[in-house]
Every structure is written in structure tokens, then in C-alpha cells.
Amino acid sequence: MNVPSQRIRVLSSGIFSLILLLGVARFSYTPMLPLMQQQADLSISGGGWLASINYMGYLCGALIASFISNMVIKDRLYRIGLILAVISTAGMGLTESFWLWAIFRFLAGLCAAAGLILASGLIMNWLIRHGHKSELGIHFSGMGLGIVLTTVIIELMSVHFNWREQWFWLSIFGFIFLIPAWSWMPRPDVASITQTGHKLVDSPPGKTFIRTLMVAYFCAGVGYVISATFIVAIVESIPELTGKGNWTFIVLGLAATPACIFWDLVARRVGDFNALISASLLQAIGILLPVIEPNFILIFIGAFLFGGTFIGIVSLVLSMAGRYYPTRPAKMMGKVTISFGIAQIIAPAITGVLAHNAGNYNTGLYLAAFIMLLGSFLFWVLKILDKK
């Protein structure tokens, strides 16, 4: 097989892995949550706890990835993640026990880390070794596609199947995506030189840079998780928009699908840090639009801006982290993702308390926008540190 066609297969394996590991195993829970509350007697607080447990699984996955340097082990864990994604999805429909649901959501969180960190690291390692640009935009389009596909599937199935049957059907679709995600992902090359004979050398940045990057990525995590967790609830809480929550999520996914490719192109022209600053500022605007005027048009524009920026920030940060460690790209990816994961556990709980006290999500959205502005400032600081 020639290298260009192999490159397409490798990148496609990454796309299918994210559709399964994030779209099916993780993000399908958002549109499935209202159905489980209506049909399976899942309480509002129980739904929130399951979301937090999912984020805990994601954080544990990031911790595991940050401590493992061996690419062969990471490849095995990636493949285990593919299997667990199908099992954890089917498991949600096999029981009505909250504690078993919690176990399956935790496993789905681990699977999300396998997609975002392990699959990304394996693909970046292959791209670098074969002389391609180490950009992950095409790979990360799988996240947006996963959101769109699973939400559309659930929207269409809701007419014909109950919550339990929908989880089973999602697991079947997941198994279909597993086949190319498994078979097209090449086994990792552990040689110290690339296919063109260049030696791979890690060039880790200084401690101040890494710490600042982790804080900036924490800010990005707060901005991401507050909107991603509550956007459907925000829409459904507006009387004239009741029933349009899932469609807002679809708009978000459609915007996210080409976003990473777009931000890769922007980064080539203006640099990684300028692209990160711009994406952070646009995301802050997208978060604030539903607060300014909670109408159909502004909420959909906000969802589009949010979907078009949050995954771009993830792609840019992980691509940049991987380039510092070309021999073991998932190591630094895992390290910075820890801060992103901590934000995902803390921020929804704080937002939930604020929403309960205020009667709406406005305060939480103001908080998310402010922290995204802080994150854009920190990316500017990183730009200065990088020049030094």
C-alpha cells in the first residue's frame, strides 16, 4: 500500500475511533439523559452524578496515559478501549441499577481518554515517522461527526424504541465503527528514526511553560464543560424552545466537525498561540450569547461558535504537546489533559449550585466566559514564553 492511501486509512481509523469512543460511548449520554429521566426514573441529581463519574473516568484515563511511555502498551490500551466502549454502551441498557450505570459511565470516560489521548498519540507518532505534518485536525473531526451521528440516530429512534432499546442499537452502531478503528490503526513503530532517516528527539519545554499551559488548558476545560453539559438543559428551559435541545446539540456537532481542520489552517498562517487566543475569545462570545438574549437565533449562533472553537482548542493544544515529545506524544498529551479533566469534574458541580440558587444558568455562563478570557490571556503569556 502506498503512503498517501495508508495515510488516509490511518486518519480514517482515528475518525472512526472518536465516533465510537466519544460520540457513541460518551456524548450519546447527553441526548439520552432526558429519555432516561422520563422512562427509567433517573433523577436529575442522579443524572448529574453519572455525568461527573464519566468525567472521573476520563481523568483517570488521562492519568494512566501520562504515566505510560511505551507505545506498544498504549496501542493495547487503545484497542481495549474500543471493546469497552461497545460493552459500556450496551451495558447502559441492560440494567436499571444506578451503581451499574455509574460503572458503565466510568468505563465510557476511560474510553474517551483512549480516543482523545491514546489514539491521537498513535496517529501523531505515525504522521511524524512518515514525514507528514503532525496536525490532528482531520482526526479530531471524528468528535463532531460522533456528536452529530449519535444525536441524529437517537432523535430518529426515539419515535420507535424505548430508552433501553436505543442503548442496544447504539452499541450495534458502535461495533460497526469499531471494525475500521481497530483494523486500520497501524501497530506502533518504536524505532528512534523516521522513515526518511531523521532521528526523533524530544524537546520538552521548561517547567514554567508546562505549568502555564496546564492552567490555560484548565480554563479551556471549564469553558468547554459548562456549555457542553448544560446547553441542552438551557434550551429546554426556555418555553418557546422546548423540544429543540437536541437540535442545538446537532448544530454544535456540525460546527465541530470541520473546526479542527479550520484551526489547523489558521495556526499555519498565524501560529499556534495566536490561533489559540482567537479560538478562546470566540468561544467566550459563543458562551455569552444565550445570556445576552435567550432566543432561537442567538442560541444557535452561540452553539455554532462553541462547537467551532472548543474542539479546535483541544486539537491545537494536543498537537503542540505531541510535537514536543515526538517519540512518546501521548505522555505530554496526558499530562495537560489532567488539568482539562479536573475542570470537567469541578465546573459542572459549581454551575449546578449557581443555577439552583439563581434559578437559571446565567451566572454559570458568565463564569465560563470570564475563565475563557483568562485562558486567552494565558495563551498570550505562553506565546511570550515560547519566544524566549
Domain boundaries, the chain: 7-187+202-387
DSSP count for the chain of H helices, then E strands: 15, 0
Of 64-73, 99-108, 200-209, give the lowest mean pLDDT range: 200-209
pLDDT digits (tens, 9 = 90+) for 219-236: 998 888 877 777 777 777
Q: CATH assignment of 7-187+202-387, given 3.40.50.300, 3.10.105.10, 3.40.605.10, 1.20.1250.20? A: 1.20.1250.20
pLDDT digits (tens, 9 = 90+) for 38-67: 898 888 778 878 888 888 898 898 888 878
pLDDT for 190 equals: 61
Q: Is 328 helix (H, G, I), strand (E, B) or coil?
A: coil
pLDDT for 4 equals: 59
pLDDT for 201 equals: 62
Quick one: cell of 313?
Answer: 482548542
Residue 193 in contact with residue 199, Cβ under 8 Å?
Answer: yes
pLDDT for 35 equals: 85
% of the chain exceeding 90 in pLDDT? 32
Quick one: cell of 43?
Answer: 433523577
Mean pLDDT, the chain, rounded, equals 84
10/291: higher pLDDT: 10
% of the chain exceeding 70 in pLDDT? 90
pLDDT for 151 equals: 87
pLDDT digits (tens, 9 = 90+) for 308-355: 998 899 888 888 877 777 666 666 777 788 888 888 888 777 777 777
pLDDT band at 212; cut points 50, 70, 90: very high
Q: Is 199 helix (H, G, I), strand (E, B) or coil?
A: strand
Of 13-17, 167-171, 352-356, give the lowest mean pLDDT range: 352-356
Inform me whether the pLDDT recorded for 164 exceeds 70. yes
Residue where the block lists cell 457542553: 228
pLDDT for 13 equals: 93
101/351: higher pLDDT: 101
H/E stretch holding 388? none
CA atoms within 13 Å, Cβ hemisphere of 177: 31
Amino acid 246 reads N
Quick one: cell of 45?
Answer: 441529581
